[in-house]
């Protein structure tokens, strides 16, 4: 049987979904009420009556007769009276059958399972195990202070545009004893650099490699050679359930024939570049598979595994061919392609992830790649067993430069700006919206996120209130600013909210969209899910082509059936009207002045009856930054990204959200507390195939 089909069988057996038939109720009245509720009420009150854009209905806060009368006489908006007394009675019976709210006594645990590597995780793992790729060469810059204490010191070079200041993009160095240092990943190639110390350009005296700088001085030189570039892999995109923003959905481990072909072809191309610099012997064969297998399987190989893979080498026509075949075989193994989260049984009936499983979970959560030797050694020494152990390693890893790209990817997916690569704008309306501008927009947002987390305050509120950003030449022409770190115009001084990436991603092809921008705030920043529009909702209101967007969307406020939902979307979305569909600032639309007044209703919970007005985007950013709900939502997003799934209920994220709020919104702390939590380290007894 061909290798690729053996691979297919092994993958299918590892991830086939178990099926079950849900039970049904014997109570016809409750069943009728459930059907009526789903049809007439769930859109606003949520599928389980726990609240959505309208308040929660359970536990019941009024008598059954009072609630029935209210349903019959006031519901639903826009079609009052369509639910008669029998209808109201059935709905109330259904609501009475639902469990009410209860205090959280513990977070529900995820099931034990294997998780297929995402495209990003697979690509990064191949890069880091075999070398090659754009950021494999980590380099540490060191300047010996010899008692001096400069007020500023940074690295400037060909890799960051020779930035003359940190504000312009220079890389700041941190003090450590009598030295200053910085570790950064550099791309393959030859790079020139200098230290900029209190404004003076200084050659790195500890580095003998240097070339003339053309001004009677010298630039220091560092060469990064990671090995041959690894071939790109082509795999199907990951599926994401509604409301889940990230590419690592743990439930999306379905392997298709396209996956099999992609894994098979890529493993052959990677193996062709592997050369073993050892003599042809059994000992060398076992050393090779033991070393490579530990990196790929993220644990030591068993004696039986090591012998079996070594046999692949020794039974080949020659040693070099055997090494390539063994590499292909290791890369085709489910032990490489899947992350294990099965754990070992505990006295309380749960399963605790093993040290190597914890190392794997930490590494893919914070670095989006396989564990390095240091982390695997920590696991082998039994130093990932306690919560304190895990918290220690998580703090070390989130401070490491390797966490930067992973957290930037988190920010891009959390905010939903990945769509910039496919978003389209009417060329006759926006001829300046080029692929180059898209790329610049997409780079600005993760750059700010990275700076806030690693060089700034590290706090969530700065993400929504920063009055500065990082702008390249293309984006600078679009925004009318300078390049590097710049102070943005006052209208944009709202951190991520004022970024063109966000404003463009949540707009129509030819015009702005208060609805899309309002939904963005509700769902991505407040975790308040907006209901799916009904089939007869229609599109953008078209009343007068010369009217402003606010005037055209008055229809949503005038129609009670629309207003029930749109008061939460449009009213906050109107506050973004100072920007067009590609994020350009504007004060006039169709010859009329734009009103940027917005209202943020029920920021902490739908149906609370609260309302705050704002007239500028910075005011909205400040209101969101001060919101407890926004902080809890960010912690929720971190939990989703690290667990790879939507939370089962509010209890699943409550402890992490509370810890994040207590930390004053420390972004790194949100990741640390999530990864060190019992919920992350334990699994239920149920096994998901």
Q: Coil, helix or strand for 361?
A: helix
Give me the pLDDT at residue 215, please: 81
From 470, 373, 463, select the one nearest 171 (Cα to Cα): 470
pLDDT tens for each residue of 657-684: 999 999 999 999 999 999 999 999 999 9
For residues 600 and 568, what is the distance between their CA atoms, to the nearest angstrom? 7
Give me the pLDDT at residue 573, please: 94
- The DSSP string of 395-421 is HHHHTSTTHHHHHHHHHHHHHTGGGGG
Give me the pLDDT at residue 105, please: 62
Question: Taking the CA atoms of the chain, what radius of gyration do you get in angstroms?
Answer: 28
pTM value is: 0.78
Q: Coil, helix or strand for 276?
A: coil
- Cα torsion angle, 500, 506, 509, 513, sign: negative
Give me the pLDDT at residue 32, please: 86
Give me the pLDDT at residue 19, please: 32
Give me the pLDDT at residue 225, please: 60
Parts of the chain with a pLDDT under 50: 1-26, 133-135
Q: Coil, helix or strand for 613?
A: strand
Cα–Cα distances in angstroms (integers) from residue 361 to residues 339, 356, 405, 453, 678, in the given order: 8, 9, 17, 21, 13
CB of 505 closer than 8 Å to CB of 582: no
């Amino acid at each position: 049987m061909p290798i690729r089909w053996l691979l297919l069988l092994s993958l299918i057996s590892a991830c086939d979904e178990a099926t079950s038939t849900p039970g049904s109720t014997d109570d016809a009245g409750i069943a009728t009420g459930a059907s009526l509720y789903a049809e007439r009420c769930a859109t606003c009150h949520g599928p389980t009556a726990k609240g959505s854009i309208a308040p929660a209905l359970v536990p019941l806060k009024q008598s059954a007769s009072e609630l029935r009368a209210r349903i019959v006489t006031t519901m639903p908006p826009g079609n009052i009276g369509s639910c008669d007394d029998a209808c109201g009675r059935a709905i109330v019976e259904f609501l009475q059958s639902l469990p009410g709210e209860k205090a959280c006594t513990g977070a529900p645990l995820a099931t034990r399972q294997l998780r297929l590597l995402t495209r990003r995780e697979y690509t990064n793992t191949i890069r880091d195990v075999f070398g090659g790729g754009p950021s494999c060469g980590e380099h540490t810059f060191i300047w010996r202070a010899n008692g001096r204490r400069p007020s500023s010191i940074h690295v400037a070079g060909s890799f960051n545009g020779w930035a003359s200041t940190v504000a312009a993009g220079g890389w700041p160095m941190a003090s450590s004893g009598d030295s200053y240092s910085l570790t950064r990943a550099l791309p393959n190639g030859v790079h020139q650099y200098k230290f900029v110390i209190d404004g003076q350009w200084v050659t790195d005296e500890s580095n003998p490699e240097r070339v003339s700088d053309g001004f009677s001085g010298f630039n220091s030189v560092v060469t990064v050679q990671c090995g041959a570039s690894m071939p790109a892999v082509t795999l199907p995109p990951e599926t994401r359930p509604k409301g889940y923003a990230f590419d690592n959905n743990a439930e999306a481990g379905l392997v298709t024939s396209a996956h099999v072909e992609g894994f098979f072809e890529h493993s052959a191309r990677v193996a062709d570049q592997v050369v073993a610099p050892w003599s042809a012997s059994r000992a060398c064969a076992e050393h090779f598979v033991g070393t490579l297998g530990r990196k790929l399987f993220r644990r030591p190989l068993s004696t039986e595994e090591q012998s079996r893979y070594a046999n692949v080498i020794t039974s080949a026509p020659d040693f070099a061919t055997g090494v390539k075949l063994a590499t292909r075989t290791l890369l085709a193994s489910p032990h490489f392609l899947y992350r294990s989260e099965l754990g070992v049984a505990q006295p309380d009936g749960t399963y605790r992830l093993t040290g190597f499983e914890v190392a794997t979970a930490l590494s893919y959560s914070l670095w989006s790649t396989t564990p390095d030797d240091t982390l695997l050694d920590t696991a082998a020494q039994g130093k990932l067993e306690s919560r304190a152990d895990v918290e220690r390693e998580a703090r070390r890893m989130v401070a490491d430069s390797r966490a930067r790209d992973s957290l930037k990817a988190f920010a891009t997916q959390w905010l939903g700006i990945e769509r910039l690569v496919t978003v389209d704008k009417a060329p006759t309306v926006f001829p300046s919206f080029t692929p180059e501008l898209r790329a610049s927009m997409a780079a600005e947002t993760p750059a700010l996120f990275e700076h806030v987390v690693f060089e700034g305050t590290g706090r969530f509120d700065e993400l929504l209130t920063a009055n500065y950003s990082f702008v390249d030449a293309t984006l600078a022409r679009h925004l009318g600013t300078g390049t590097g770190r710049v102070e943005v115009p006052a209208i944009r001084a709202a951190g991520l909210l004022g970024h063109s990436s966000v404003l463009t991603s949540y707009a129509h092809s030819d015009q702005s969209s208060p609805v899309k921008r309002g939904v963005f705030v509700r769902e991505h920043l407040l975790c308040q899910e907006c209901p799916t529009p009904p089939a007869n909702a229609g599109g953008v209101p078209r009343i007068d082509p010369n009217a402003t967007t606010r005037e055209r969307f008055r229809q949503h406020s005038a129609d009670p059936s629309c207003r029930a939902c749109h008061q939460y979307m449009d009213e906050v979305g109107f506050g973004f009207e100072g920007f067009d569909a590609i994020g350009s600032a504007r004060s006039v639309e169709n010859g009329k002045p734009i009103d940027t007044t917005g209202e943020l209703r029920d920021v902490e919970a739908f149906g609370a009856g609260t309302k705050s007005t704002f007239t500028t985007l910075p005011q909205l950013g400040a209101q969101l930054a001060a919101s407890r709900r926004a902080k809890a939502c960010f912690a929720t997003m971190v939990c989703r990204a690290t667990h790879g799934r939507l939370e089962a209920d509010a209890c699943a994220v409550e402890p992490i959200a509370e810890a994040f709020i207590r930390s004053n919104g420390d972004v790194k702390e949100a990741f640390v507390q999530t990864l060190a939590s019992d919920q992350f380290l334990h699994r239920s007894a149920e096994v998901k195939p």
